[in-house]
Amino acid sequence: MDRVRIGLAGCGSVSGSYLPHLAGSAYADVVAVCDVDMSRAERSAEQHGVAQAFDDVTSMLDGAEFDLFLNTTAMPAHRELNHLALTAGKHVYCEKPIATSYEDGLALVELAETSGLELWGAPNVVLSPQFAYLRELIHGRALGRVCAAHASYGHAGPSWGPWFYGKDGGSLFDLGVYNVTTLTGLLGPAEGVVALSGTAVAEREVDGAMLRAVADDNTMLLIDHGNTVFSHVQTGFVYRAQRGDRSMEFIGTEGAANLLGYDWGPAGVEVWDTASGAWDTRCEDAHGYCWQSGAAYVAECLVKGVEPMMTGAHALHVLEVMTAAKVSAAHGVRMPVESTFELSAPTA
Ligand SMILES: NC(=O)c1ccc[n+]([C@@H]2O[C@H](COP(=O)([O-])OP(=O)(O)OC[C@H]3O[C@@H](n4cnc5c(N)ncnc54)[C@H](O)[C@@H]3O)[C@@H](O)[C@H]2O)c1
């Protein structure tokens, strides 16, 4: 395969970042787009030079020839559309999360495996040079033993997409998911979680109309990575302002490191230099990494026949952590996490 043909579903906000990025890929061609709102599909096709537009995924699967299904629809639609695409023999790259329950996510991963297909889930944070640098620092023991980390990511909440505030939405699935992916990627799979979570702002104005929010918009999640390694994620749609210049901190017995910027848009790694007794900024170049580059990356891996660092197993693990957090918060209990994953070395 020289180039991967992509069929994209969901021509909303995020597709406006994926489509221009994919247009610059040497390994992928978007050959079809679809949206339940046909006017959006047609507009996207026209703006981005895509040959075919459809008003539902089944018609796109029947009417277009492609290799990779790119799912950028609203979260509540992810499971069903991923299932349709896998059943039709397509590889899948899905915006987060791959499904909204762990059981559904597990069934999708198993379906992909038994069908000889790949299923990948955003976010692609493990691909950034800053992630690789932190991984080397932590695994190489440059900070001693890193037993503690914290991360925070929030904003005031999307002004579009009522589903962000419905039962399958919320700030943990939309925003905290980045930090959970980074923390489990760097400190290892979670063994258990404890969370506090709730809906702090019940009335929201979305797409120009008032709605009653039921999704949690304020979550504090504690993760036990085993071996007395703990991290926490604070995330919400209730943050009017936040310092995003140091959004994650990794604290070791012999040093510490901060991620500068957010993990989806990293700007460097700040390391405590014990010899000089000062913070030293390193790894400031993103080398082309951006949060919307995951689909182009997996297309490159498919063409080159290399194993991507991103895996369905990691996406599924992150989904289990987030769904376990919901149960923990609702019932006031620590929840075990059963799934696991392995993170390979960078390949492409
Ligand atoms: N907007 C962002 O900045 C951003 C950034 C990163 C990730 N994401 C993720 O991207 C996904 C989409 O977010 P968004 O902000 O673009 O949402 P959006 O509401 O702007 O767009 C979603 C689109 O999906 C379409 N859709 C819904 N169900 C469908 C179905 N069954 N078949 C075909 N089309 C369907 C809707 O009509 C809409 O056009 C979410 O998973 C979100 O978490 C969004």
Question: Which pLDDT does position 346 carry in this prediction?
Answer: 64
Q: Which CATH architecture has domain 126-290+305-336?
A: 2-Layer Sandwich (3.30)
| Closest residue by CA, ligand 1 atom 21 | 12
Q: Tell me which of 276 and 287 has the higher pLDDT.
A: 287
Q: Which atom of ligand 1 is nearest to the CA of 94?
A: 41
Whether the predicted pLDDT of 224 surpasses 80: yes
Phi, psi of 35 (to 5 degrees): -155, 145
Residue 347, pLDDT score: 55
> Domain-by-domain residue ranges, the chain?
4-121, 126-290+305-336
Atom of ligand 1 nearest to the CA of 12: 21
DSSP 145: -
Nearest Cα neighbor of 238 from 150, 171, 146 is: 171
pLDDT in tens, 142-160: 999 999 999 999 999 999 9
Q: What is the mean pLDDT of residues 197-202?
A: 97
Q: Which fold has domain 4-121?
A: Rossmann fold (3.40.50)
**Residues with Cβ within 8 Å of residue 13, at least 6 apart in sequence:** 160, 161
Distance from the alpha carbon of residue 319 to the mean position of ligand 1, in angstroms: 18
CA 72 to centroid of ligand 1, rounded, Å:
5
pLDDT band at 64 (very low <50, low <70, confident <90, very high): very high
Spell out which residues line ligand 1, taking CB within 6 angstroms.
9-14, 34-37, 40, 56-57, 72-75, 77, 81, 95-96, 160-161, 174
Ligand 1 geometric centre to CA of 51 (Å): 21
pLDDT of residue 276: 85
The atom number, within ligand 1, closest to the CA of 71 reads 11
Cβ atoms of 202 and 157 within 8 Å: the answer is: no
Report the separation in Å between the CA atom of 303 and the middle of ligand 1, taken as the mean of its atom positions.
27
As a whole number, mean pLDDT of residues 220-247 equals: 96
Q: How far is the CA of 191 from the centre of ligand 1 (A)?
A: 31
pLDDT in tens, 163-176: 999 999 999 999 99
Task: Give the number of the atom of ligand 1 that is nearest the alpha carbon of residue 97.
Answer: 41
C-alpha 152/C-alpha 150 separation (Å) is: 7
CA of 207 to the centre of ligand 1 (A): 14
Q: Quote the CA–CA distance of 72 and 95 in Å, as a whole number.
A: 5
Nearest Cα residue to 70 out of 38, 34, 103: 34
Angle in degrees, 0-180, between the axes of helices 294-304 and 15-23, rounded to the nearest 10: 40
Out of 13, 34, 71, 78, give the residue to mutate to test ligand 1, the one with the largest number of ligand atoms within 8 Å of its CB: 13
Q: Which of left, alpha, beta for 89 (phi over 0: left; psi -120 to 50: alpha)?
A: left
Reduced to 3 states (helix: H, G, I; strand: E, B; else coil), residue 113 is helix
Query: Of 237, 174, 168, 232, which is closest to residue 200 (Cα–Cα)?
Result: 237
- Is residue 265 very low, low, confident or very high in pLDDT (cuts 50, 70, 90)? very high
Report which ligand 1 atom has the smallest distance to the Cα of 80: 31
Q: Which atom of ligand 1 is nearest to the CA of 95?
A: 41
What are the residue ranges of helices labelled H in 116-176? Answer: 129-139, 171
Does 272 score more than 60 pLDDT?
yes
pLDDT digits (tens, 9 = 90+) for 88-133: 999 999 999 999 999 999 999 999 999 999 999 999 999 999 999 9
Whole-number pLDDT of residue 274: 84
How far is residue 73's CA from residue 169's CA, in Å, rounded to a whole number?
Answer: 13
CA 62 to chain centre: 29
Q: Report the separation in Å between the CA atom of 197 and the middle of ligand 1, taken as the mean of its atom positions.
A: 24
Pairing label, strands 4-9, 28-34? parallel
Q: What pTM was estimated for this model as a whole? A: 0.97
Q: In a mutational test of the pocket of ligand 1, which residue from 8, 14, 237 has the highest number of ligand atoms less than 8 Å from its CB?
A: 14
> How much is the average pLDDT of 12-38?
98
The stretch 179-185 carries a mean pLDDT of: 98
Check residue 345 and give its pLDDT.
Answer: 72
Given the DSSP bridges, would you call strands 119-121 and 68-71 parallel, antiparallel or unpaired? Answer: unpaired
Q: What contacts 24+ positions apart, CB below 8 Å, involve 327-336?
A: 328/193, 328/194, 328/195, 329/195, 329/196, 329/197, 329/198, 329/216, 329/219, 330/197, 333/194, 334/192, 334/193, 334/194, 335/192, 335/193, 335/194, 336/191, 336/192
State the average pLDDT over residues 310-333. 98
Q: In the predicted model, what is the mean pLDDT of the chain?
A: 96
Query: Would you state the pLDDT for residue 255?
Result: 94
Question: Strand (E) positions, the chain?
Answer: 4-9, 28-34, 52-54, 68-71, 91-94, 119-121, 146-154, 192-198, 203-206, 209-212, 218-224, 230-236, 246-252, 256-262, 265-273, 278-282, 335-336
Displacement of CA 61 from its chain's centroid (Å): 25
